[in-house]
Amino acid sequence: MQDLFYEPMQGAVAGPKEFIKGVGRGGKGFVSGVVHGVSSSVAGVTGTVNKQLGMLAFDDEYAAARETKLRNQADASREGNSVQQGFRDAGENVLGGFTSGIGGLFKAPVQGAKKEGVGGFFKGVGRGVAGLVVKPVMGVSEGVTSLVTTVSDVSDAKASLNERPAWMRQRRAIPLRPATNRMVIVPYDELAASAQANAVR
């Protein structure tokens, strides 16, 4: 939000042409910030929903493998904000959810029968059916989370690379006077200002 006002004001100081460019930079920064904020929020909500859905799958092995996979994807995402990697992760999540759900329909009854006999077989059928419903939904939801996280990371990276003209001074805080811990505001000096403007150009 700050860019929306700050950039045009900085441009207005230099002239009408720079004011127009400042409006463009400010609008671009504002849109990038909104996209980043919304996509981060959506990723957080879908991540929480996935965690809750994971409990309904009744498959500890699947939950552990899923956590490892998501951790690896997050590490890869931090190393480089690649849109292709985000789409690849989303595809893997969706495909993994469907294959695990279908595979669990056959695997869970066999494992249950090995552990607990006939009763375990029927428990395994119940777990397999629950997994057949829950795991694909989780896969799609994790795919959406991967895409939204990628959008968030890319928009944040672009916002941080918001180009600023060389003549525009960087934002800075007003210094505090050490003895009194008060702000030091010096009177305007036209000669110093023009020297600074010429030094930056």
Query: What percent of the chain shows pLDDT beyond 70?
Result: 80
Pairing of strands 176-177, 182-183: antiparallel
Query: What percent of the chain shows pLDDT beyond 90?
Result: 4
**Lookup: tokens for 86:** 């985000």
For 57-189, where are the alpha helices, taking DSSP H only? Answer: 60-79, 83-116, 118-160
CA distance 118 to 97: 28
| Predicted confidence (pLDDT) per residue in 69-85, tens digit | 877 777 776 666 577 77
| Predicted confidence (pLDDT) per residue in 148-160, tens digit | 877 777 766 655 5
pLDDT surpasses 60 at 167: no
| Predicted confidence (pLDDT) per residue in 38-68, tens digit | 877 887 888 788 888 877 877 888 878 888 8
3-state secondary structure at position 183: strand
CA distance 5 to 30: 10
3-state secondary structure at position 182: strand
Contact 39, 148 (CB under 8 A): yes
196 compared with 175, residue with greater pLDDT: 196
Overall residue count recorded for the chain in this entry: 201
Residue type, 148: V
On the 0-12 / 13-18 / 19+ scale of CB atoms within 10 A, 30 is middle
Count Cα neighbours of 36 within 13 Å in the Cβ-side half-sphere.
Answer: 15
pLDDT surpasses 80 at 108: yes
